Amino acid sequence: NIINPRAVYVHWGKRTCDNAASNIVYIGYMASNVEVGIGAGTSYQCLPENPKLKMDFDTTGVNMKTSKLAAVRFSHMSMFKSSKQLQDKVVPCVVCETPMRPTVKMFPGTSCPGDWIQEYSGYIASNAHGRMRAENVCINRDPDTYNTIEKSRGDPVLTPVKIGETHDDKLRKDASIPCTVCSK
């Protein structure tokens, strides 16, 4: 048996894997917890476009106590030329597999360090300030969208992460932060 090391990662904001050596596992859309009440998960999920779901056996009295996922929408993505076309559109994602490269990591900045291989580049984004905490992810620099227009109160949104107060003169306050997803 020959072992084939590989990693699986989510490419946020696209429906294709940018690196030609990477394979598509499935295409989906970005989901997070609905912004109503307190408590819920903090990580984003890439839900398949056509998931095969099972119904719960006993749903009486459970509805009010469960966390609920909803599609994440672009909001105020000013770092993209197409920011007006992105507003309120659902964020796509694709799960990619990198053969022969078992490690994938997001690096702040515009390039991969050393002998790392670039999978894609973009900007760091997360949930809006004042809303539920969420992880920081790298959104592709040329994002795709889903053209759905229905919105619900409490739908999660994705906004740019900006530089805050800093003691480094090289970092401009309120600048969007570039990122690169790399494999090795």
Neighbours of 182 (CB within 10 A): 24
Residue 11: strand, helix, or coil = strand
Express each pLDDT in 86-119 by its tens digit: 887 899 999 999 999 999 999 999 999 999 999 9
Mean pLDDT of the chain: 83
**Cβ distance 80 to 95 under 8 Å?**
no
CA distances from 52 to 34, 48, 49, 56 (A): 21, 9, 10, 13
Check whether 67 has a pLDDT greater than 90. no
Number of C-beta neighbours around residue 176 at 10 A:
18
Predicted confidence band of residue 5 (pLDDT cuts 50, 70, 90):
confident
In the predicted structure, residue 59 carries a pLDDT above the cut 90: no
Mean pLDDT of 157-182: 81
**Higher-pLDDT residue of 155, 110:** 110
| Whole-number Å distance between alpha carbons of 175 and 160 | 9
Token match 């904001």: residue?
13
Q: Are 112 and 183 in contact (CB under 8 A)?
A: no
List the one residue out of 162, 22, 32, 17 whose CA is nearest residue 91. 32
**pTM across the whole model:** 0.85
